[in-house]
Chains A and B, each alone.
Chain A
Amino acid sequence: ILNVEQSPQSLHVQEGDSTNFTCSFPSSNFYALHWYRWETAKSPEALFVMTLNGDEKKKGRISATLNTKEGYSYLYIKGSQPEDSATYLCAFVPWMDSSYKLIFGSGTRLLVRP
């Protein structure tokens, strides 16, 4: 069974704080890692797709890094804003014949207080 773990489960920060959370996944059979943001009452929205060890992606104040050898990815938010409040999901894609399957972690729920 392929397990994807995210930590912490939830996080409360003050507006302006920078924060980061972790996604851990199996280091063998790695194909890709996705990050999604899921705001309340909305659909999950894609943030990044990462494939290469050492990869770093950035979108505004949000960035992510990837270490496929040790099986983790970090998501960073610089200067958190209340609109960043959401659940952040990572999804691991194992190398398979038909790599359509995303295996999701249970998410990190971020609440940014004004």
Chain B
Amino acid sequence: SQTIHQWPATLVQPVGSPLSLECTVEGTSNPNLYWYRQAAGRGLQLLFYSVGIGQISSEVPQNLSASRPQDRQFILSSKKLLLSDSGFYLCAWSSTLRGERGTDTQYFGPGTRLTVL
């Protein structure tokens, strides 16, 4: 069965510090991978998605970046955190079966609570 891991679970970082959040998926190959953020009082916002190694699409301008160094590894980074980067970060995966784009279920990880002070 497939599982998705995220770490760390919680993180408190000072403004201006770097960030690295990691997401890994087990039990599937060539998944689509996604990073979402939920800011306080708001819905889930798609930040990045990836359809393959080294292929990253950014959805919103921001000071965050994403990388996919391996098939089942997705990393969210920042060189210098801002207060507005605080939120709950969720990684998700879906299968890449052709013809089912947009109807594939996305499976979410446990999330990382990031507080920037």
Instruction: Find out whether the CB atom of B90 lies under 8 angstroms from the CB atom of A100.
Output: no
Query: What residues of chain B lie closer than 8 Å to A71, measured between beta carbons?
Result: none
Query: Nearest chain-A residue to B4 (Cβ)?
Result: A43
Quick check: is A26 within 8 A (CB to CB) of the other chain?
A: no
Main secondary structure of the interface of A (DSSP, over half): loop
The answer, among B32, B41, B90, B94, for a CB contact under 8 Å with A44, is B90
Stretch at the interface among A59-67, A72-80, A104-112: A104-112
Instruction: Find out whether the CB atom of B43 lies under 8 angstroms from the CB atom of A105.
Output: yes
Query: What residues of chain A lie closer than 8 Å to B36, measured between beta carbons?
Result: 104
Interface size on B, residues (CB 8 A): 24
Q: Tell me the complex Cα distance, A34–B90, Å.
A: 17
With known contacts A104-B44, A106-B41, A43–B102 Cβ distance under 8 A: no
Residues 40 to 61 of chain B near chain A (Cβ within 8 Å)? 41-46, 49, 51, 59
Query: What residues of chain B lie closer than 8 Å to A11, measured between beta carbons?
Result: none
A residues with CB within 8 A of B: 4, 31-32, 34, 42-46, 49, 51, 89, 91, 93, 95, 98-107
B residues with CB within 8 A of A: 32, 34, 36, 41-46, 49, 51, 59, 90, 94, 101-103, 105-111
Instruction: List 27 interface pairs A-B (beta carbons < 8 Å), by A numbering.
Output: A4-B43, A31-B102, A31-B103, A34-B106, A42-B110, A43-B109, A44-B44, A45-B108, A46-B107, A49-B103, A51-B103, A89-B43, A93-B103, A98-B51, A99-B101, A100-B34, A100-B49, A100-B94, A100-B101, A100-B102, A101-B49, A103-B46, A104-B36, A104-B43, A104-B46, A106-B42, A107-B43
